[in-house]
Structure 1
Amino acid sequence: MNMWNKRFLNEQYVYGTEPNEFLAAMQRKLNVSGNALAIAEGEGRNAVFLAEQGMQVTAWDYAESGLAKTEKLASSKGVTVHTKLVDLNEADWQMHKEKWDEIVCVFGHFRTELRNKTLQGVKEAIKPGGYFVTEVYSYNQIPYKSGGPKEEDFLYKPEEFLDNFADWRIKHFFMGEVVRHEGMHHTGLAHVIQFAGQKPVE
């Protein structure tokens, strides 16, 4: 059993049930509709929020317990989220080429090699005109006491977004301090990267 499966076995939603503040703000600003994919989605708070906005949402995670809690939360809110057990190491992004109107990733942290593969997969999987929205901890997060990985290899650098998505329309980019209160593990002042980009319409 992986560590995330163990963590999410708790009845309590360890990252809360409310959506990430940045995602919620960008969703209002961008007014996206259609099909959304939430990757490394954990217990489903962001996927459920997107479904509440009228999107058709699929949540990927590799913790079965997290996906079960996603379905439970969606049911309690009167919406539907399709869940799929996916290890991003094995994700076949080619099967999802230009499938999604929006992909979101909130505090999804992986080692550099998998991160690069995932970001390239995201680029391929979003439809022309669609959006990628993410908030993650930056490489400056380690001294902060508010959560996130303690190994730099799991943390993001700005060029990972600015270089990989250089041909996209960048709707929002920020790196710096924010305050987050998201359950018991993301609490307090944090150093993050926020990115929202739109894939060019060819």
Structure 2
Amino acid sequence: MNRWDDRYKHDRYFYGTKPNAFLAQQYAVFEHLPHVACYAEGEGRNAVFLATKGHQVTAYDYAQEGLRKTAELAEQFDTTVETKHHDLLNDTIEPAQYDGAVMIFGHFAKDQQLHVLEQIMTSLKPGGIFLMEVYEEAQLAYKTGGPPNIDYLYAEETLRDWAQQYEVLHFDCVEVTRHEGVGHKGLCKVVQVIVKK
């Protein structure tokens, strides 16, 4: 059992059951996209939110316990989410299969971050839209969520440079307040990105 399985094996939803606020605010970008993938999706809160809006949703995660809870949460909301046990660092994703993609607080070591983002973009069809919110390096000082290691946080400039190869619909590095379960509590520093392939 990996540490994420250990975190998710309890009845409580560590990051809550409501969607991430940035995803909810920007939902309109996905409104007409039929098939959306949620990467590093954890316990399913964002995938279930999208499924309740009528999308076909596939949730990818490394933790079997997270996927189990995703299916349970979907059932609670009288919807369905396809779940896939997947290691974004080592497993390949079939290209050009999704209309949209989401990654909320999917944190990886710096030398792996761009590889993960490229994997996600590869999975999108031309014209597909990717939305993410992740903690910026400055988050280390806030202590309100996210990895307690700067190597697993994102540098604003690195993401800004990466995003330029696509059509940038939204890019911001900003202080926001996040109350998402026990995992994210209070003021924090995030990078928010929406790009079109």
Q: Same fold (TM over 0.5)?
A: yes
Contact 1:48 1:79 in 2 (8 A): yes
Match of 1:152 in 2: 150
SS across alignment from 1:142 = helix
Aligned ranges for residues 20-99 of structure 1 at < 5 Å? 20-93=20-93, 96-99=94-97
Structure 2 Cα separation of the partners of residues 10 and 141 of structure 1: 27
SS across alignment from 1:173 = strand
Moved over 3 A (4+): none
Paired residues, number? 197
Q: Could you say if the C-alpha distance between residues 104 and 181 of structure 1 is closer, same or farther in structure 2, counting changes exceeding 3 Å?
A: same
SS across alignment from 2:11 = coil
User: Which 10-residue stretch deviates more, 76-85 or 20-29?
Assistant: 20-29
Structure 1 residue 157: Cα displacement: 1.2
Contact 1:88 1:114 in 2 (8 A): no
Unpaired runs of 5+ residues, structure 2, are: none
SS across alignment from 2:26 = helix
Match of 1:131 in 2: 129
Q: Over aligned residue pairs, what C-alpha RMSD do you find?
A: 1.2
Structure 2 Cα separation of the partners of residues 30 and 65 of structure 1: 27
* Identical amino acids, percent of aligned pairs: 43
Matched AA of 1:141: Q
Structure 2 Cα separation of the partners of residues 180 and 32 of structure 1: 27
SS across alignment from 1:129 = strand
Deviation by residue 1:136-189 (Cα, 9 ceiling, x = unmatched): 000110010211111111001123332222131111111020000000110100
Structure 2 Cα separation of the partners of residues 77 and 153 of structure 1: 36
Structure 1 residue 9: Cα displacement: 0.5
**Would you say 1:170 and 2:181 are equivalent positions?**
no
SS across alignment from 2:162 = coil
Q: Could you say if the C-alpha distance between residues 30 and 80 of structure 1 is closer, same or farther in structure 2, counting changes exceeding 3 Å?
A: closer
SS across alignment from 1:42 = coil
Structure 1 residue 55: Cα displacement: 0.9
Structure 2 Cα separation of the partners of residues 188 and 32 of structure 1: 32
Structure 1 Cα separation of the partners of residues 108 and 131 of structure 2: 17
Contact 2:30 2:100 in 1 (8 A): no
TM-score normalised by length of structure 1? 0.94
Deviation by residue 1:102-129 (Cα, 9 ceiling, x = unmatched): 1100000011222121111122111111
